[in-house]
Chain A
Amino acid sequence: MSIFIDNETKVVVQGLTGEQGKFHALRNKAYGTKVVAGTRPGKGGETVEGIPIFNTVEDAIEETGANTAMTFVPPPFAKDAVLEAAYAGCELIVCITEGIPAKDEAEMYDLLKQKTSSRLLGPNCPGLISPGKSNVGIMPHEITMEGKVGVVSRSGTLTYQAVLELTNLNIGQSTCIGIGGDPVPGTSFIDVLDAFQNDIQTEAIVMIGEIGGSAEEEAAEFIKDNVTKPVVSYIAGLTAPPGKKMGHAGAIVSGNKGTASAKIEALTDAGANVVKNPTRIGQAIKDVI
């Protein structure tokens, strides 16, 4: 078992004809992911390295049985692309696109919840990988290995760092997920923690957070009441100056809210082992499994 994706995942790539979309879709395919289709309005009937292109997601699903969308389309069109994939019936939509206006994200989230049963991962996220099964997104699969640790993070590159630390100690992963650093992530820490708790393959969880918002505090509450598997955590931004947006739109300490120390305290209180440096994640997991 893994969460959200497995051997049966069939991916339609929105924006396959673009440079980024093509590079990563082909990497996913080479890894063994079933990348069955791409979409690009007006380019239906063409192919990209043997992958058929369709005008709409609906056409792609009908012809190929795709059940998951991966979105690379630029910010101005991203909301419509995600909604199109959801209305067409994709169970999971992985939105890689960075720089979508917050209003579009809020509206998109609202409509998905009200009108569909699709799960959105992202936007502005690296996607997810279940090593040995499927890679949907931009994570470098070379650093992963199949195993029993679930990894969830708001940051893409920090996810990679954590995964590398695990793999270096010969500790494999069940699924690695980046939920993205934007203000309105489609999938929250809690959604992923819940799924890891219920996943038989996962025996321990790594959760990586950062300054800003209160998602980590909410996750800590959830861990306290619902998670029995060991959790190792790391929070980035201990030395970030207040009032400055640290790259991610959501990563900002406002007044005394959203600080790394408050998050570390909440997670420690919930029973998680919070390490001070991401390079210590591997050892901390080794100590508990």
Chain B
Amino acid sequence: MDLFEYQGKLLYKEFDIKHPNSKLVKNLIEIQESVELSYPIVVKAQVQVGGRGKAGGIKIANNHEELIKYSDEIMGMDIKGHIVEILLLEEASKILEEYYISFTLDRSEKKYLIMLSSKGGMDIEEVAENNPDDLIKLYISPSEGLNTEVVNKAIKDSKLNQDYNDELNDVISKLYNLFVESDCDLVEVNPLAITNKGVSALDSKVSLDMNAVYRHDNFIDIEKEIPIPVSEQFAKEKNLNFIKLDGSVGIIGNGAGLVMSTLDVVSEYGGKAANFLDIGGGAKAETVTAALEVLESENNVKSVLINIFGGITRCDLVAEGIVEATKGKDLKWPIIVRLDGTNSKEGLAILLENSNEKITISSSMDDAAKLAVKGAN
């Protein structure tokens, strides 16, 4: 789950990572009189999209008058389709040097990866491409963790200012703690700056691993502040993995690979998927019923393809769910069902006993996809 900059900075606070004094603004009335920050103040649009600076979403105010003017301009602004609803006001620092640092899990090495560069404040992918020597990569054993000597060497290798070695070492170990203890998929600071007030994390890009939500109560509160489309909200409540797409064939399947593949096969036969919907492993009848409900609220759906290959998922339960969702209903669209694998005979028997003229049973994935594409036209 990708966080807003201000949410990342709240985590900085928790882990004692130095960052500018700030105020969060959701309504401009809050700053009408004055703000308890010293000028100059940076007004930053809170949007989850890159390039906000270029789009005019970051401005520096030297006095209260300018602050009101810029805040008014930026609030409500459309930045690449994202409407600004929250502003972060921060005391501006005098920047002496700008660095880049990020923490991720490297899937090839199966270790944590710290990337460090003295060329901060710019697009790091450009640095990696044009000046790869300026990007130091540090692989950390997840079971052993970080040690000071390794960090000192990285600071030296990446040519950061040695005068600030202790302070940099301190902030790097604190960022590492945040990355590990808060179960982050990503912590990126660009720039990590040396300012007239010392080392300061001026920006934040944090992404959380939602598989770890059970051990972090704050993840739920953070998640509530991140807007998602209405249909995805409903699917989420039902514990379904749903992604809206712009085609007309509604897709329900089990297992990420099979669902992705179903999208591809529908496309091969000239159709376009209306969504990605994975009911997951071991789905119950209710899950399937909920999945069909999610598609009912999607206007672009013209036909539905249910592609199930039972393993841990039992086809009899899937069939019960389909019957439950469609029994006695005048269906808006044709449903093509393909069931294979664990308890598929039982599942098909349930569908045959409760036949519905809009539901077609297909014996192969290919045929099912063809029928669903035809049904959507």
Contact = CB atoms under 8 A, between A and B. Distances in A.
A246 interface: yes
Interface string B186-222: 0000000000000000000000010110110000000
B209 A103 contact: yes
B110 A110 contact: yes
Contacts of B185: 102
A66 B107 CA distance: 31
B245 A106 contact: no
Contacts of A111: 143
A237 B265 CA distance: 10
Which residue of A114, A142, A276 has the most chain B CB atoms within 10 A of its CB atom? A142
A24 interface: yes
B341 A143 contact: yes
B183 A246 contact: no
A118 to B, nearest CB: 15
Which residue of A103, A157, A234 has the most chain B CB atoms within 10 A of its CB atom? A157
Given A155-B256, A158-B257, A246-B276, A103 B340 contact: no
A246 B264 CA distance: 13
A249 B111 contact: no
B258 A244 contact: no
Contact of A184 (B107, B214, B268): B107
B125 A160 contact: no
Interface string B300-316: 00000000011110000
A75 B310 CA distance: 22
Interface string A11-37: 000000000100010000000000000
Interface in A174-232: 181, 183-184, 208, 210-211, 213-215, 218
B104 to A, nearest CB: 10
A211 B268 contact: no
SS of B interface (majority): mixed
Interface stretch (B72-80, B278-286, B348-356): B278-286
Contacts of B276: 240, 244, 246-247
Contact of A214 (B107, B143, B144, B340): B107
A139 B112 CA distance: 32
A239 B183 CA distance: 30
Contacts of B212: 101-103
Contacts of A247: 241, 255-257, 259-260, 276, 278, 280
Given A126-B311, A143-B341, A164-B340, A102 B256 contact: no
Given A100-B211, A237-B264, A238-B264, A106 B366 contact: no
B334 interface: no
B22 interface: no
Contact of A236 (B241, B260, B366): B260
Contacts of A184: 105, 107, 110
A103 B183 contact: yes
B101 interface: no
Contacts of B105: 102-103, 106, 183-184
A269 interface: no
Contact of B264 (A20, A251, A277): A277
Interface string B173-186: 00000001001010
Contacts of B365: 161, 278-279
Which residue of B183, B211, B365 has the most chain A CB atoms within 10 A of its CB atom? B211
B364 interface: yes
A138 B360 CA distance: 28
A250 B257 CA distance: 11
7 contacts: A102-B211, A161-B261, A214-B107, A236-B257, A244-B276, A276-B264, A277-B268
Given A103-B209, A247-B255, A247-B278, 7 more contacts: A103-B105, A106-B111, A110-B144, A138-B281, A142-B341, A183-B107, A238-B264
**5 smallest beta-carbon distances between A and B, as pairs:** A155-B257, A247-B256, A157-B255, A157-B258, A101-B212
Interface of B: 105, 107-108, 110-112, 125, 141-144, 180, 183, 185, 209, 211-212, 214-215, 241, 243, 245, 253-261, 263-265, 267-268, 273, 276, 278, 280-282, 309-312, 340-342, 364-366
